[in-house]
Amino acid sequence: MEIGGYFELELHSREPYYPDLIALNSGRSCLEYILKASNYSKLYLPYYICEVVIEPIRKLRIDVSFYSINIDFTIKDAIILKDSEALLYVNYFGLMDDYIISLSEDFNHLIIDNAQAFFSKPKENVITYYSPRKFFGVSDGGYLSTKKFIDFKLEKDTSFQNANYLLERADIGAEKGYQNFRANEERFRYTGLKRMSKLTSDILSSIDYDLVKLKREENFWLIHQELGFYNQLSFIPRNIAGPMIYPFLTKNAGLRDFLIFNKIFVAKYWDNVNRKWPENNFENILANQLVALPVDQRYGVAEMMYIVDLVKSFCNI
């Protein structure tokens, strides 16, 4: 026990959003944990997926088959699993909760990637994992819901040496800290499977999750009210819990670059899709034309309308 001395970063002590889940150091570590605790001979993955998800699968030399998705993000291909096989499905942008219920009824061995759906609670008997840094100011961390456990002890991670970009963004802006942000993302290729660090755990236990969830939903529906008619993703469901972004699909080439030029930083999902998968399929359209509009808890009506006005001006709508 240490008492007195200089002050640490002050955080408000609340409960973590998932107190009963396994707390690990990243989403991909959660997947590695699952694969080590199970005995899958093969995984079915969507073509439209982040390349880093494939890393632990390759590391453990598990066979992979890829499947296509429809314009509403449902699975296009007919898949029949053998007893030793599992299907991994991505809860795209936090929009697919209702569909996951039906998947859980169709597949006994189902893994849900909720990296883009932090507020979507795990379904009963469905392996589910999360990546909190996609939603909050932490440099690492992952949560895993599973009834399968590994039989060896995990080292606890540390985060202080990788969190500089969070302080840089707070003090001098996002662009100044971007290189350190990228360096932090790259390190997960080599960090390995560990327990969540105390710093990340403390930060995640200090968040007002009800407020965050509400802000994200309000921002999402405000943008949808203004731009939904022009969005080629016409299926947007009503049952959405604290979504990651507003996915705006458009044929207007250059919108993403235009927004970035105006300091609206929009992510691209994902570069590897263009490099590896069949041309001119829906996955490539998503990779090239989907613009991920920010809706997170840092912003409100003024920022959302600023984004809307920029989109409308560029698209002439």
Pick 190 or 98 by higher pLDDT.
98
pTM of the model: 0.93
Residues 36 and 115 in one domain: yes
Instruction: For residue 161, tell me if it sits in a domain.
Output: yes
Pick 184 or 132 by higher pLDDT.
132
Can you tell me the distance from the alpha carbon of 149 to that of 121, in angstroms, rounded to the nearest whole number? 20
Q: Are 268 and 292 in contact (CB under 8 A)?
A: yes
Q: Are 220 and 50 in contact (CB under 8 A)?
A: no
Can you tell me the distance from the alpha carbon of 275 to that of 219, in angstroms, rounded to the nearest whole number? 33
Q: Which of 185, 204, 223 is the last residue of a domain?
A: 204
Instruction: Say which CATH number the domain at 223 has.
Output: 3.90.1150.10
Instruction: Say which CATH number the domain at 111 has.
Output: 3.40.640
Q: Are 26 and 184 in contact (CB under 8 A)?
A: no
Q: What pLDDT does residue 279 have?
A: 65
Assess whether pLDDT exceeds 70 at residue 275: no
How large is the average pLDDT for residues 199-224? 96
Can you tell me the distance from the alpha carbon of 103 to that of 110, in angstroms, rounded to the nearest whole number? 8
pLDDT band at 280 (very low <50, low <70, confident <90, very high): low
pLDDT band at 192 (very low <50, low <70, confident <90, very high): confident
Residues in the chain: 317
Kindly state the tokens that stand for 129: 């994992």
Question: Nearest to residue 291, comparing CAs of 227, 203, 202?
Answer: 227
Assess whether pLDDT exceeds 90 at residue 218: yes
| Whole-number average pLDDT of the chain | 91
Q: What range does the domain containing 281 cover? A: 209-315
Assess whether pLDDT exceeds 70 at residue 105: yes
Q: Which residues contact 186 (CB under 8 A, 6 or more apart)?
A: none
How large is the average pLDDT for residues 299-317? 94
pLDDT band at 146 (very low <50, low <70, confident <90, very high): very high
Residues 191 and 218 in one domain: no
- Helix, strand, coil percent content, the chain, rounded in steps of 5: 40, 15, 45
Give per-residue pLDDT as tens, 42-52: 999 999 999 88
User: Phi and psi dihedrals of 300, rounded to 5?
Assistant: -140, -155
Residues 54 and 166 in one domain: yes
Residues 220 and 197 in one domain: no
pLDDT band at 292 (very low <50, low <70, confident <90, very high): very high
Question: Nearest to residue 201, comparing CAs of 7, 18, 2, 6?
Answer: 18
Q: Which of 178, 204, 230 is the last residue of a domain?
A: 204
Number of domains in the chain: 2
Question: Nearest to residue 23, comparing CAs of 197, 192, 165, 279?
Answer: 197
How large is the average pLDDT for residues 98-116? 95
DSSP bridge partners of 75: 69
Residues 219 and 303 in one domain: yes
Instruction: For residue 5, tell me if it sits in a domain.
Output: no
